[in-house]
Every structure is written in structure tokens, then in C-alpha cells.
Structure 1
Amino acid sequence: MKKLLAVLLTVCLLSTLWTVFAVAEDKPTIVVNTFAQEHEKAMYEEVIKQFEEENNCIVDFRVSGDQYWPELEASLTAGNAPDVFYLGVGDVRKRVWTGAVAALDDYLDVSTLGNIWPEALNLYKYDEESNKLGEGKIYGLPKDFSAVSMTVNKAIIRKRDAEIKQAIADGILPFYPEIDENGNLPVYTFTEFANLCKICTFEDETLPETAGSKQVYGTHLWEDFCLKPFIWGAGGDYLNEDCTEVLFNTDKFIEGYEGFMKIVEVGGSGSSTDETSGYLKFLAGRCAFFPCGTWDVGAFQAIEEDEAVNPGKSWFDFDVAPWPISDEYASLSIEERQDKWVGRLDSVGFCISAQSKYPELAAKFAYAMSADPEVQRFLAKKGGQLPNLMEMAEGEYLTDDSYFPETRVVFVKMLEGQNGHREVSSMTWNDLWLTEGFNTGLTSVWSFYEKSDLGVTPMDVRTYCESIQDNAQQLLNDAIDDMEAMKP
């Protein structure tokens, strides 16, 4: 009898398992591969769970780390691409030419995309006949239209209140680092900002033990991510209009870079040899000003609102701020400075593999993540991104106090175009002209302005920029030649 019961139980169990497997096999499965920080990953998983329930499907969600792009390239080459993956805005032509991505027009009603920021959607358009980007079919939907602003830890500003007010009285600073009564942002010139960073460099005995040190810095920027707004704030650029000439040796570029290094020169920055990065300093309340991508907001928000470790926002009080501008604007009023600052705009998009078994489902997923109002509201309130939907970004995102941070209008001004500039490295076939042509010798510049021995020949900004110009131009020429060679 016991043996019979055991057999019957085994049969029932196998039957149940077979039913579960059969149901699972009936559900279409798409592989989605992205990169994300931990707080972003948690947001996406919540959204994906809802998508699976609504569409009776399985989403195999895979998150990669720093090696996302080379790993993606390898999977595309091997012919086992995910159904949905990220499309870099500089890779649109390349992916279309190699047949890696499918046009979303074939699987979506594109008339429903009208509320996405037009500038963001245009980044993923390409017309094969005319070989023009920004028009034609749509090969990706923006995961986000991201902006990189300056940020400020207002807890540090409060601690230096007396010193800042004295600097204003002495004519060193023109105004306090906060929005004025007329809604004007505190836009500083390069010299003013460097002086403010110097004021905010001090030892703070009130910091918690978790800060790792009592030393606070005005800022701790680095060229690869933070220099561009200084170049644009000086009226310069990295490339000419048609992206065929490198402009490192031009006066405006050099002025912007000198404005960047002025912070180091006056002693308002962390050192190039510091073991603790600027990012970690900022997270520990030891850095007054720092860059912030819209994708970072959730992580900063979590620290600010953690009353257990940050009681009363005593050491971390996060907000966003504009980037500094050329010293030639020093005589302008705060109102006249509002359209002079510029920050970086960028994007990465959801695309679908041309080899996907379920292209309609994959396209539906891309649409849900990019254009569904409820998803956009959820992600924006969690601090993962700005709303891709223009009406939402210019409406409830600004007026609803449940969104964060307080001065989020800075982000919107950038997306609206007045204060935003597209990421330069995405405009060329590859970015070697920047990564190898510009970034590899920057230690020489830091050595000069820090007056430190870093084992290299110190160079001021002008000397460095003029010394690298020809090689950078050759690398750009090579990229243009490579693009022409690959054109179908």
C-alpha cells in the first residue's frame, strides 16, 4: 500500500511539473540585456514583472557591467544577440549597415511616439537612401534623454555660510549659490566658481565617521566626464559643425580648459593622486559640487532621505545646479547669464534584434519602457531618469513636489535645448580622437597646475592642447575613412 501511494504521489508530482513546464514553454521568452546601477536594476525589475503579467510572457532580464559594449559586440558577431539591447546613438548607422537591428516602424504604430522629446527620438532615426541621420525609419526608442548637470551639497554651503557672505561683501562672489527670488539660477563664471570651491575646501569636524576623512573639497572633477560644459561655457567646442575637424588648439577650447583647471590652481579641488574618487567623496558629504547624470538621482536621493544616517540632512542635502561660464560674462547680471551655461545631453536606446523570434513582443517591450506614461512616471519618481514624454517633463515633473530634486528645472532647461549640448563622442564613427587623442596625456596638465611631480613633463593647457592637435586630427581622419570603407 505504501509503495502504491508513493507511486501515485510521484505520478502526481511529475504531472504537476509537466503542467508547469508546458505552461512556461507556451509563453514567449525575450532576452533583454542592459547595463544598470543597482537602484536602476531594481526599478526595471519591477516594471518588467508588470510587463510579463500583462503580456503573458517571460522576460529574461540580464544586466551587464563595465564590459557591456564589448560583450554586446561579441554576441552580435557570434549571431546570438539579445532580443532587446541598448543602441548607442553613435552606432545607429553601423547597426543598420550590418543588419543587426530591425526598424521599429515595421512593428509599432510610430504615430503613438509623438510625445517623446523630438530631439531624443531623432537620435535613432536613419534614412538609408540619403544616408542621413535624424530622419527616416526609427531603429531605437530612447531608454532616456539624459542630462548631466552640476550638483550641490547644500549642507556644505550652509556650513560655509559666513565665508560665502563675506566673499560676496568683498566682491569675490556676485551672489549666493541658490536660486534668487525671480527664479534665476546661480550661474557663476569660471573664476567665481573656482573661488567658491576654494571657500568650500575645509576640514569639517562634524562629519560622521563613515565619511572616511574630515577634509571637504569644493569639487573633484575629471576631464573625461566633466570638461565639456566648461568648453561649451566658453563658447568653444570639440569638433567643427560637420565633425571633420578637431578644435583642441582653438582659443575658446583652451579658455574653457583653463577655466576648468583654475579650480585646481586655486586649491578648490581634490588631488589627482587621491585614493578616494570624487564620486565617493560626494557620497560621503566631502565634496560641495559634483556632476550628476539624471540616472544618478535615485542613489543620491536615497542618501538624503535616510534619516538614520543623515539626520535632518545634516551632512548631505542634494540639489542640482548649472555649470559655470566664461569670465567674459563677469559683468552680466544673474538674469543675463541664464542662457550662457551648457550641460551635456546624451541617450541610449532600446532596439530590437533583426534576428529576434518575437519582434512584435520585443518592440512592445521597447515601447513600454520608453513611452508608457505610467512607466515613465514610476521611473522618474524613483530617480532613474527624466520623463521621456515632453508634456510630462514640462508639466507634472516640475509642478508635483513628489518628484526629486528641488531644482530639477535645471534638467528640463537642458532637454529643452537652451542649456543642453549633445555628447560629442557620439557624433563620430569612433571616439579614438578623444580617448586616445586627448585623454591619454592629461596627467601632464594636472602636474603643472598642482605643482606636483607625477613622473611626467608638466604642461600648461595651451601647450598640451597644441601638442596633441595633429595626432587627434589624424585619428579623426582615420575614423572618417573607416566609416567610408564600411558603407554599403
Structure 2
Amino acid sequence: MLKTFKKKLGLVLMTTVVGTSMILGGCGAKKEAAADGKVEIQVMLKGQPHELEAYQKVIKSYESSHTNVKVKIISTSGDEYTTKIQAAIAAKNVPDVFYVNPGEVKAWVNSGVLADITEYVEGSTDVKLADLWEKGVNKYRFDGETLGKGAIYGLPKDLGPFGFGYNKTMFKEAGIPLPDKDKPYTFQEFIDVCKKITKDKDGDGQLDQWGTGLNVNWSSQQFIWSNGADFIDSTGTKVTVDTKEFAESVQYFADMQNVHGITPSVEQAQTLDTYQRWIQGQLGFFPVAPWDLGAFEELKFEYDVIPWPAGSTGKPSTWVGSLGFGVSKNSKNVKEATELAMYLSGDAQGQKELVDLKVQVPNNKEEAKRWAANTSIKPENKEEYLQIINEYGRNFPADATYNAEWYQYFFSNIQPVLDGKQTAADYCKEVQPKMQELLDKAIEQEKEAKANKK
């Protein structure tokens, strides 16, 4: 899924402009009124061409109703975006509106990059704050101590509930009862069903259909959380990967291949990744996020989404990702920039245009309900995405810490576990001290940043 995620965010875009032509280097220009006397707002975006096209339409609608504003779009590839926005920050030439990840909020507030836009958000006449997902807005709140509380420093571009799909056609052909959309499989039930699906269909002695195929970076958290474990404690100061429950979850993940044989082998995955195998109808279960729906519209099999398998807690769990619109603290037009960000985040008509392209769940709650009930949009059980947002979706573990190095370290050397050459328990005990060291370093960096800010 990691490869899929990068494909989604990293396709190279054409530089597209609304209004006067501009390249990234133009971020350094003085943000003065345009020649026609209009307020000029620069917005830096990344995304797929059709997604950018949708935002062009939304921005044109905004300009039509805000005749005193001219918007210039700066677009770049997903792979280049981070480098370019960091360069703009270093040069103090940040666009008026730009993307921010929840995990960047603390650092960018402390370093004076993000503007406090609470006043303008709460006073917006275009979009009401109450119309948006509270969980989405809270990802960009920060009170100086805790992420999720206090002032607003960004608005959600989207919420990405990471759902779990299954090949309904495969189940019907095998005569296996369809999964219950309201009751998750237990860990053992999931293994048992996957074993029934995994088979050599053409009789050549080689498996050509598997139960599932999951990427550890994006699909291990679900098993860890639902088994009552976590990467970090509630205080955000102690790494907890060395618990029994955590190791059990990671071992379960690795055993899907090494013990149960319900996933393609490493060699088979190199020949054809699991994303492509899902598209070709070779997998029974696979993650299906809202940004996948457009790409999956033409699948040659019927699919739907269900809860992720649940461990000892008996409750499913998964993450809800997000990307937000931030406003530069140095913008000469913070009010107008915030109005644009608010419009992009939650305008009802704009949300409809984005929904038509099947790239996200609407940020507008009422629009999201209509979207989930729309039977013309696959899959059938889109309500599951709303349940993830409302009931059991969680933030990434590193979102609330000053950086993600400690979290990323866990995945950097995990391959021996996935290959069956090291037990999960041994690995978790081995990496915990280094992860704790990196977390302690992040905590100290945050303290220093706060002190320097004062």
C-alpha cells in the first residue's frame, strides 16, 4: 500500500495557474495587490491532475463570489513538495496558503510558520466551522502544549479513513459467507477465511490467489491497536513497543506469510505488487481508502468495505490520515487567505465537485452523509468510512510528537521479522531503546523551540 500511497500523492503535475502565470520561484515576490487592485493570494498545491482540476473549479467559484480576490496556484509533484516548501520556509517566502501535515503543526507553530487563524475561521460567512468534521479540525488545533486543543492553525483538505476491502465476487464463487459489515472478524477467523481463499486455481502447482497482501507501514497499526497495544503511552513520553500485546500483534502480522501462507511471498510481491494483484482479482482482502475509489471504479469484480479484523479488544481500529490547508504567518493577507482555505476545506459545492472525482470523503458532514447514501458510487458500504471517522479511527502515533523519527525507526529494520528470521518479541525489545532515545530527543527539541519562541 505504501507504493500505492506514493503513486497517489506523487504523480508529476503540470504547473497550472489560475490568473497570472507563476512558477515556484515566485513565492519570494512581495505579496502586494494585483494591478487591477484585487488582493492576490498564492496557494501551493500538490495532487493528481484531475484533483488539481477540481481545485481549479472550486477556486474559480471562490473568485466569482469574492470579486476582490485573485488566486494564483503553484503546483508541484508530491515528491518535490516537501523539499520546496521547506526551502520556502527557510527563505521566509512561504505562499499564503499551503499544505500542512498534522505532525508538522507543533514545529511550524513554534517556528513562526503558521498563522493562528481561529478568529477568521470562527467568523467565516462562507463555511461554518460546525459544518466540518470536528476530528478533522482538531488535527490542526494546538494550545502550545497539546495537539488537538486550542487555537486553529490549519483546516482539513480531507480526512482519509483507511478502510478494509474484500473481493465479494471471490467469496460468492467460493461459496464462503460474506463478511458481516457490522461485526469484525477475530484474528483467528480472519486467518481461517484467508486460508479458504488461498489456492492454486489453474492447477500448475503455484498459488495464484491469496487471502490478503498488506504493507507493514500502513496496515500493521490496525492489528496492534485492536489488540490493546500502542507505539507510545498516553503521556506521549514513553515508547511502548516492548509490551507482550504489541509483540503478539506484530508476530501475527508476520505469520500471515511465514506460517499461514495466505499472502504472496516476498519474491512474488517483487514480481507483481499486492496493489496490482488486488486490481487483478487475486486477493480476497486489501485496504481501500477513499482516494482509491476512482481507480477502483472499473474493477472487474464486485467489492465492498468492512471493519478491520479485531484482536483481544474485540473492536476494530484503523487510522484516519489528513492533509490540511495552512496559512503563512507572514502573509500580508491572512484574513483573505483564511477565507480561501475555509472555502477549499468545506464549501458545499466545492465538496460536491471533489466527490464527483472520487478522491475523498467530503469534509462537510451533511455532504458526507449524502455521499455515503449514494448507491451510484461504489462501494456499497461507504458508511464504514463515516464510522471510522466518528467512532474508531485514530491519529498516526507520531502526529502528537515533535517529529516522527522515533516512529519511523520502528519500520526501518523490521524486514527480518517479516521474513521469519527474527521473532517480533526480540525485535521489539531491540528497537525500543533507540526509539525511546529518538523520542527523548524530539521532546528536548520541542522544549528548546518553546524557549526560543519566548
Amino acid at match of 2:432: Q
Q: 1:445 aligns with which of 414, 417, 425?
A: 417
Q: 2:91 aligns with which of 51, 57, 78?
A: 78
Which residue number in structure 2 is paired with residue 433 of structure 1? 406
Tell whether 2:153 aligns with 1:139.
yes
Q: 1:157 to 1:45 in 2, by over 3 A?
A: farther
SS in structure 1 at match of 2:407: helix
Alignment of 1:351-430 (within 5 A): 351-393=326-368, 395-417=369-391, 419-430=392-403
CA distance in 2, matches of 1:104, 1:368: 14
CA distance in 2, matches of 1:204, 1:38: 38
Larger Cα-atom Rg: 1
Amino acid at match of 1:299: A
Which residue number in structure 2 is paired with residue 98 of structure 1? 111
CA distance in 1, matches of 2:394, 2:146: 20
Please say if residues 190 and 260 of structure 1, whose CA atoms lie closer than 8 Å, have aligned partners that are also in contact: no
| Aligned-residue offset at 1:374 | 1.7
Which residue number in structure 1 is paired with residue 11 of structure 2? none
Tell whether 2:265 aligns with 1:271.
yes
Which residue number in structure 2 is paired with residue 318 of structure 1? 303
Amino acid at match of 1:177: L
CA distance in 2, matches of 1:363, 1:49: 16
Tell whether 2:148 aligns with 1:107.
no
CA distance in 2, matches of 1:319, 1:486: 46
Please say if residues 172 and 178 of structure 2, whose CA atoms lie closer than 8 Å, have aligned partners that are also in contact: no
| Aligned-residue offset at 1:386 | 1.3
Tell whether 2:288 aligns with 1:292.
yes
| Aligned-residue offset at 1:444 | 0.6
CA distance in 2, matches of 1:478, 1:471: 11
Q: 1:248 aligns with which of 234, 237, 241?
A: 241
Tell whether 2:278 aligns with 1:262.
no
CA distance in 2, matches of 1:186, 1:283: 25
Which residue number in structure 2 is paired with residue 122 of structure 1? 138
Please say if residues 373 and 383 of structure 2, whose CA atoms lie closer than 8 Å, have aligned partners that are also in contact: no
Q: 1:396 to 1:258 in 2, by over 3 A?
A: same
| Aligned-residue offset at 1:281 | 2.0
> How large is the RMSD of aligned CA atoms in angstroms?
2.5
| Aligned-residue offset at 1:411 | 0.8
CA distance in 1, matches of 2:333, 2:350: 22
CA distance in 1, matches of 2:34, 2:92: 25
Please say if residues 125 and 134 of structure 1, whose CA atoms lie closer than 8 Å, have aligned partners that are also in contact: yes
Unaligned runs of 5+ in 2: 1-19, 22-32
Amino acid at match of 1:320: V
| Aligned-residue offset at 1:486 | 1.4
Please say if residues 198 and 269 of structure 1, whose CA atoms lie closer than 8 Å, have aligned partners that are also in contact: no
Residues 444-479 of structure 1: CA distance to partner in whole angstroms, max 9, x if unpaired? 11221xxxxxxxxx1011111112111111111111
Residues 48-87 of structure 1: CA distance to partner in whole angstroms, max 9, x if unpaired? 3333444342332413222322321121111221221112
Please say if residues 195 and 266 of structure 1, whose CA atoms lie closer than 8 Å, have aligned partners that are also in contact: no
Using the TM superposition, name which of 78-87 and 102-111 deviates more.
102-111
Which residue number in structure 2 is paired with residue 51 of structure 1? 62
CA distance in 2, matches of 1:463, 1:109: 50
Amino acid at match of 1:376: Q
Which residue number in structure 1 is paired with residue 41 of structure 2? 30
Q: 1:41 to 1:272 in 2, by over 3 A?
A: farther
SS in structure 1 at match of 2:115: coil
SS in structure 1 at match of 2:166: strand
| Aligned-residue offset at 1:186 | 4.6
Amino acid at match of 2:154: G
SS in structure 1 at match of 2:245: helix
Please say if residues 39 and 299 of structure 1, whose CA atoms lie closer than 8 Å, have aligned partners that are also in contact: no
> In the comparison of the two structures, how many residue pairs are matched?
409
Q: 1:156 to 1:25 in 2, by over 3 A?
A: farther
CA distance in 2, matches of 1:342, 1:224: 15
Which residue number in structure 2 is paired with residue 476 of structure 1? 439
Residues 234-276 of structure 1: CA distance to partner in whole angstroms, max 9, x if unpaired? 1111110011111111011112212222321211112223222
Q: 1:214 to 1:116 in 2, by over 3 A?
A: same
Please say if residues 154 and 317 of structure 1, whose CA atoms lie closer than 8 Å, have aligned partners that are also in contact: yes
Q: 1:364 to 1:261 in 2, by over 3 A?
A: same
Unaligned runs of 5+ in 1: 1-19, 165-175, 206-212, 305-314, 330-336, 449-457
CA distance in 1, matches of 2:80, 2:289: 20
Please say if residues 29 and 60 of structure 1, whose CA atoms lie closer than 8 Å, have aligned partners that are also in contact: no
Residues 175-205 of structure 1: CA distance to partner in whole angstroms, max 9, x if unpaired? x2334xxxx5351122221232232233456
| Aligned-residue offset at 1:106 | 4.2
Alignment of 1:214-233 (within 5 A): 215-233=208-226
CA distance in 2, matches of 1:229, 1:407: 19
Please say if residues 198 and 268 of structure 1, whose CA atoms lie closer than 8 Å, have aligned partners that are also in contact: yes
CA distance in 2, matches of 1:348, 1:151: 23
Please say if residues 34 and 40 of structure 2, whose CA atoms lie closer than 8 Å, have aligned partners that are also in contact: no
Please say if residues 195 and 268 of structure 1, whose CA atoms lie closer than 8 Å, have aligned partners that are also in contact: no
Q: 1:200 to 1:125 in 2, by over 3 A?
A: same
Alignment of 1:329-368 (within 5 A): 340-368=315-343
SS in structure 1 at match of 2:114: coil
Which residue number in structure 2 is paired with residue 238 of structure 1? 231
| Aligned-residue offset at 1:120 | 1.8
Amino acid at match of 1:268: I
Structure 2 length as normaliser, TM-score?
0.83
Amino acid at match of 2:89: L
Using the TM superposition, name which of 58-67 and 217-226 deviates more.
58-67
| Aligned-residue offset at 1:95 | 1.4
| Aligned-residue offset at 1:28 | 4.3
Q: 1:110 to 1:258 in 2, by over 3 A?
A: farther
Amino acid at match of 2:148: G
Using the TM superposition, name which of 247-256 and 188-197 deviates more.
188-197
CA distance in 1, matches of 2:201, 2:79: 34
SS in structure 1 at match of 2:419: helix
Please say if residues 300 and 318 of structure 1, whose CA atoms lie closer than 8 Å, have aligned partners that are also in contact: no
